[in-house]
A = this chain, B = another copy of it.
C-alpha cells in the first residue's frame, strides 16, 4: 500500500514512522512545500521518497493530509480533483466542520474520511516526530456515513494499526467537544503564559517555576501556524468555551474577593472531580468497544 503524507511535521511524521514500521504502508511518499522540512524528513528516514504535490497525490492508494487546518481546506478539493476513483483520502486536522464543507459537493466526497487523532505534543516539525505517539489514544471519525465503506474501512484499519481506538461523531459534535477539551486548554495556557510574562521578571519565572507551573503552561509552547487557523475555524465554539471559562474564573475571583472560604472550598472540591473523571473511575466505559458502541448508537 502506497501512502502519501502531505505535511511532514509532528503528526504526519509520527504517523509515517509507525505506519511504515507496522507494515501498514509498503512505501511512504512525502510531500511538503517547505524544502527544509522535506529534506529533514528524508534524512531522518521518516519517508521513503519525496514528491511534488501532484505526483505524490497521483501515486498514492491513501493520501493523508497532515497540515494546519487552513491548508487542509485549501488543498483538499485539489486532492480530490487529482485522485483516481479508487484512492482514499483522510485528514488529521483538529477542526472538522469547515473541512467537510469544503468538499461537500465534490463527486468524490465518498473517498474522503474526516478524522481527528487526539494526540500530540507542544513541539513541531519533522524532528518532533516520534514513534508510538498515537498508541492507546483515540481518534474521532466525523460524518462517517458520508464516506464510502471501503474508504472508511481502510482509514479505520490505519488507526487500528497505530494502536488507536475510534469514536464516531458529527463534525459539529466533534468541533464543540474539542473546543472544550482541547482548544480551550490551549487558549488557557497561551493567556496564562502572557499574564505571567507581562507581570514577572523572566529570571524569576525561570527560578521559581516548579513542576506545577510548567505543566499548566506546557501547551503555550504550541505553534501559532497550527493554532491560529484552528481557533479561527472553530471560532463560535471556542468563543463559547472561553466565555464559560472566564465565567468560572470570575466566580472564583468573587468568592475570593468576598473572602468566602466555604465557597472557595466547594469550587475546589468540585474541580477535584476531574481526578476520577480522568482516571475513568466514575464511568463504566473502560473498554474502547463500549465507547464505540455508545457513540455509534448516538447517531
Contact = CB atoms under 8 A, between A and B. Distances in A.
Interface of A: 118-122, 137-138, 140, 167, 177-178, 180-182, 184-200, 202-224, 227-229, 231-232, 235, 238-239, 241-253, 256-257, 259, 261, 264-275, 277-278, 280, 282-283, 285, 291, 294
B208 A177 contact: yes
Contacts of A178: 208
A134 to B, nearest CB: 10
Given A241-B195, A253-B242, A272 B220 contact: yes
17 contacts: A178-B208, A182-B213, A185-B213, A188-B249, A190-B268, A192-B245, A194-B271, A195-B241, A203-B291, A206-B278, A207-B291, A214-B278, A216-B216, A216-B219, A221-B272, A239-B257, A242-B253
A231 B256 contact: yes
- Stoichiometry (number of copies): 2
Contacts of A231: 256, 264
A140 B209 CA distance: 12
Given A206-B278, A206-B280, A217-B274, 18 more contacts: A118-B210, A119-B211, A138-B208, A138-B210, A181-B208, A182-B210, A194-B271, A197-B270, A202-B282, A203-B285, A206-B285, A207-B291, A215-B218, A224-B264, A229-B261, A231-B256, A232-B259, A235-B257
